[in-house]
């Protein structure tokens, strides 16, 4: 795909925030907070950094993407829809009976997904396996994997981290959505992960820290990760849960609670939709 400019990426991310709110508002269930915190990262990946082709989703040389924190899948669906992997109108069917847009990524429903995820901790291991396959096949595609900070409580994350550094899996970039919250509250109160950067560097990873909502920083860090040799790379992206909607930001109520009809309207107004457009969209 043609690379979008930084300004174009910012505009796309804003539009996809609207998509997320519409999807979840119409579904009446799902995870707004994490979807909104990862959307800038996913926008940068799909519309600037990754090599992929919606017209040939199974291209053997495509970059691979794993959303390990599968509950944030509305952000991924927004990217796939706007990239042209499926008709845009499908977003209005999220979580509905018979819809291919399940509440977590399901490869049985959408064959271009690289993995079915949602059981937290597993996506990183899957991504490492894909990277090892690339090396065996002498392919130069890269694998990108988004994990969560609450997810990083899982022991499997750290087993995978040790394995990747030991085997010098340098065709892997992990992005940590560090929004500081998990299902039951602040990460620091449940199982503090600090010092996060020192943990990953001590496990043998090349580390970078960025503002996860600064598009230029995100793109620059992703590009830099491609140049690292003999180490896996992690980008620790400091994000805001619910970013872009004032009453959702750092409000853990919206970890797994969809907006009501009135909250959907209020959020879309904040994101720049007109009242007329909002009512038209909600009728679909």
* The pLDDT value given to residue 74: 98
Q: Check whether 204 has a pLDDT greater than 90.
A: yes
Q: Helices marked H in 28-143 — which ranges? A: 32-44, 73-83, 123-136
**Per-residue pLDDT tens over the stretch 102-122:** 999 999 999 999 999 999 999
Question: Domain boundaries in the chain?
Answer: 6-283
**Per-residue pLDDT tens over the stretch 56-71:** 999 999 999 999 999 9
C-alpha span between 263 and 66 (Å, rounded): 30
* The pLDDT value given to residue 2: 86
Nearest CA to 244 out of 61, 37, 65 is that of 37
**pTM above threshold 0.75:** yes
Burial label, 206 (beta-carbon count in 10 A; 0-12, 13-18, 19+): buried
Q: Check whether 284 has a pLDDT greater than 90.
A: no
Instruction: Reply yes or no: is the peptide bond before residue 195 cis, omega within 30 of 0.
Output: yes
Q: For residue 269, give both structure tokens.
A: 């107004």
* The pLDDT value given to residue 67: 98
| Mean pLDDT, residues 92-97 | 96
* The pLDDT value given to residue 183: 96
Topology of 6-283 in CATH? Rossmann fold (3.40.50)
**Per-residue pLDDT tens over the stretch 140-153:** 999 999 999 999 99
Secondary structure E strands in the chain: 64-67, 143-148, 172-178, 181-182, 185-186, 206-211, 233-238
């Amino acid at each position: 795909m043609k690379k979008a400019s930084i300004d174009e990426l910012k505009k796309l991310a804003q539009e996809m925030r609207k998509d997320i709110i519409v999807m979840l508002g119409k579904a009446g269930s799902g995870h707004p907070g994490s979807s909104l915190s990862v959307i800038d990262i996913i926008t940068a990946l799909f519309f600037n950094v990754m090599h992929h082709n919606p017209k040939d989703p199974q291209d053997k040389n495509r970059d691979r993407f794993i959303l390990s924190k599968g509950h944030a899948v509305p952000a991924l669906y927004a990217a796939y829809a706007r990239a042209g992997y499926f008709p845009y109108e499908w977003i209005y069917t999220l979580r509905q009976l018979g819809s291919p847009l399940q509440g977590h990524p399901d490869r049985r429903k959408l064959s271009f997904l690289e993995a079915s995820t949602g059981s937290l901790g597993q996506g990183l291991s899957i991504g490492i396996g894909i990277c090892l396959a690339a090396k065996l096949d002498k392919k130069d595609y890269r694998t990108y994997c988004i994990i969560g900070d609450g997810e990083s409580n899982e022991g499997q994350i750290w087993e995978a981290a040790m394995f990747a550094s030991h085997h010098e899996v340098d065709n892997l970039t992990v992005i940590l959505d560090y929004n500081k919250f998990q299902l039951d509250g602040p990460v620091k109160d449940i199982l503090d992960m600090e010092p996060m950067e020192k943990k990953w560097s001590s496990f043998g990873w090349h580390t970078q820290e960025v503002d996860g909502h600064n598009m230029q920083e995100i793109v620059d860090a992703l590009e830099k990760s491609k140049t690292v040799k003999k180490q896996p790379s992690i980008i620790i992206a400091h994000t805001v849960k619910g970013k872009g909607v004032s009453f959702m930001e750092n409000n853990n109520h919206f970890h797994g609670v969809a907006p009501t009809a009135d909250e959907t309207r209020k959020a879309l107004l904040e994101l720049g939709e007109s009242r007329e457009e909002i009512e038209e969209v909600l009728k679909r």
